[in-house]
Structure 1
Amino acid sequence: MGVSLKAIDYGMVAAMALALIAGPGNALADSEATVLLEAHNRYREDVGVPPLAWSPPLAESAQAWAEHLAATNSFAHSAAGGYGENIWKGTAGAYELSDMVDSWGAEKQYFVSDGVFPAVATTGNWRDVGHYTQIIWRQTTEVGCGLASGQGWDVLVCQYTPPGNYIGQPPL
């Protein structure tokens, strides 16, 4: 029996191998992690929820996924569960880290603060505020992010625990 070689995604295998070889050397510098954490916590402070703490295990996971996305020129959420996730992609070198988080935070303009998920957007579509609500979700306590570049793009992945955006729960 065995596995058909036709079924193997060689791009994914190569990307994961690169991530394993590169290891923590491609992780964010402490100063970059601080910028990302502070950007997240500004949005949380604005709505009166406690600040997030930085999670090295989440950062390691996010870094591996960011490297995969950059190497494969794809843009999709990871399949692993147990945490929330925001992903961002933009022209390499054109954006500051805080700009990347601010692109998610800009969704605040459509946020209904007294809503219960998924009825949390003035547009009627929770996806219009889903990145923002994950950032400010009251029960979320930790974040970790990874940044990678490839094929002309920067890719930022931030993962959160406990995850947010639960149906029937208020974000705040």
Structure 2
Amino acid sequence: MRHCFSRHCFFTLALFLLLTRSTHGIVVPTQNQPRSFANQFLIPQNAARASVRQRPLVWDYKLVRYAQWYANQRRSDCALEHSNGPYGENIFWGSGTGWKPAQAVSAWVEERQWYNYWHNSCADGEMCGHYTQIVWNTTRKVGCATVVCSGGKGTFMTCNYDPPGNYYGEKPY
């Protein structure tokens, strides 16, 4: 799933840019990290799943390690490129620093407005695959990571899902 740059996403990004402040550093989620980091990703994703009667996702450290490995690969360029790994994947980029995990999840979940369940498709010119991955019926586990990119290129976040979703021709729930 690629990150969208529709008018809606552009204005959302512009608003976030106006509201955020600069900080520095990398957030490296590990088993020793406070549960609050995981919850910043889990709570809004599980709320989206609950709204369509799907079981909550559980935080998985194997997926966290994979997500952190891939986020580290993007640290030098902050490119919105998928890892093409074995898991489902959502990626996010925000200009500057200070982005919170819930803001990335919010951007993904907002794609719900573009998803038509009855036609199992996104509205013309819009993206909804981040949303459908979050609510995918058979997905059970998630692990996420975030990195502040070098040279002021922004913040990159990724979540990986197992089993993956978004199979062509299948509805998410």
Give the TM-score range, shorter chain. Answer: 0.7 to 0.9
1:104 counterpart letter in structure 2: W
Match of 2:70 among 65, 86, 92: 65
Say which SS state the counterpart of residue 145 (structure 1) adopts: strand
Q: How does 1:10-25 map to 2 (within 5 A)?
A: none
Q: How does 1:100-115 map to 2 (within 5 A)?
A: 100-115=104-119
- The CA deviation string for residues 68-95 of structure 1, in whole angstroms up to 9 with x for no partner, is 1122332200032x21000001023343
- Counterpart for residue 160 of structure 1: 161
- The CA deviation string for residues 108-151 of structure 1, in whole angstroms up to 9 with x for no partner, is 11111234xxx322x146x6100000000111111000111123
Deviates most, 130-139 or 150-159:
150-159
1:32 counterpart = 2:31: no
Deviates most, 89-98 or 62-71:
89-98
Contact 2:44 2:106 in 1 (8 A): yes
Cα deviation for residue 167 of structure 1 reads: 1.2
Q: How does 1:63-102 map to 2 (within 5 A)?
A: 63-80=68-85, 82-102=86-106
Contact 2:29 2:37 in 1 (8 A): no
Decide which structure has greater strand share.
1
Cα deviation for residue 106 of structure 1 reads: 0.6
CA distance in 2, matches of 1:70, 1:160: 21
Say which SS state the counterpart of residue 55 (structure 2) adopts: coil
Decide which structure has greater helix share.
1
**Structure 1 length as normaliser, TM-score?**
0.76
Number of positions where the alignment pairs a residue of Structure 1 with one of Structure 2: 142
Contact 2:42 2:59 in 1 (8 A): yes
Structure 1's unaligned 5+ residue stretches are 1-24
CA RMSD, 1 decimal:
1.8
Say which SS state the counterpart of residue 78 (structure 1) adopts: coil
**Structure 2 length as normaliser, TM-score?**
0.76
1:62 counterpart letter in structure 2: A
